[in-house]
Amino acid sequence: MATTGQHVNVERARRAYEAFGKGDMATLSELITEDTVWHIGGKSPLSGEYKGRDAVFGFFGKLKEESGGTFRLEVHDILANDEHGAVLVRSMGERKGKKWDGRSVHITHADSEGRTKEFWAFEENQAGLDEFFA
């Protein structure tokens, strides 16, 4: 346990979301395994399975590109133990005159060192997000 009383993987997740917000790929490289797999649901051009850290970073680049750099995440809460994490998030962005403001849950599976090995995104309004990125 960390000195703050939070599980160490809560603090790792918080660091990861802060790094994502800053575009800090060096920190994200420390927190995501090289062979990670990310599952992005829906039917938009961004949906699919991204295998490997490089593919995930490519996905991050697409998010930024498609939203003109406006896509951002606001963490509401983080729950974690030695193996799994659940992050309650609000996502926001603008694209082609449209605005997105939605809620989702991100689920992670950690390796023995607490790095993200697998990730799933579950959107409250998947159809709306698909339309936003269509």
Q: What is the CATH number of the domain that holds 40?
A: 3.10.450.50
What integer best gives the mean pLDDT of the chain? Answer: 94
For 59, residues 6+ apart whose C-beta sits below 8 A from its C-beta are 38, 40, 46, 50
Determine, yes or no, domain membership for 12. yes
Determine, yes or no, domain membership for 29. yes
pLDDT of 5 over the 90 cut? no
Determine, yes or no, domain membership for 61. yes
Determine, yes or no, domain membership for 2. no
For 81, residues 6+ apart whose C-beta sits below 8 A from its C-beta are 7, 9
Q: Walk across the sheet containing 48-51 and list its strands.
A: 48-51, 32-40, 116-123, 98-110, 84-95, 72-80
Task: Tell me the Ramachandran region of residue 96: left when phi exceeds 0, alpha when psi lies from -120 to 50, beta otherwise.
Answer: left
Q: What percent of the chain has pLDDT over 90?
A: 94
Determine, yes or no, domain membership for 111. yes
pLDDT of 4 over the 60 cut? no
Determine, yes or no, domain membership for 3. no
> Which tokens in the block code for residue 5?
């009383």
pLDDT tens per residue across span 54-70 = 999 999 999 999 999 99
Closest CA to 15 of 28, 2, 32: 28
Determine, yes or no, domain membership for 57. yes
The tally of domains found in the chain comes to: 1
Range of the domain at 73: 8-133
| Own/partner pairs, 20-26, CB within 8 angstroms, 24+ separation | 20/60, 20/73, 21/72, 21/73, 23/64, 25/57
pLDDT tens per residue across span 71-112 = 999 999 999 999 999 999 999 999 999 999 999 999 999 999
Determine, yes or no, domain membership for 104. yes
Give the model's pLDDT for residue 68.
94
- Using CA atoms of 20, 21, 27, 31 in order, give the dihedral in degrees to the nearest 10: -40
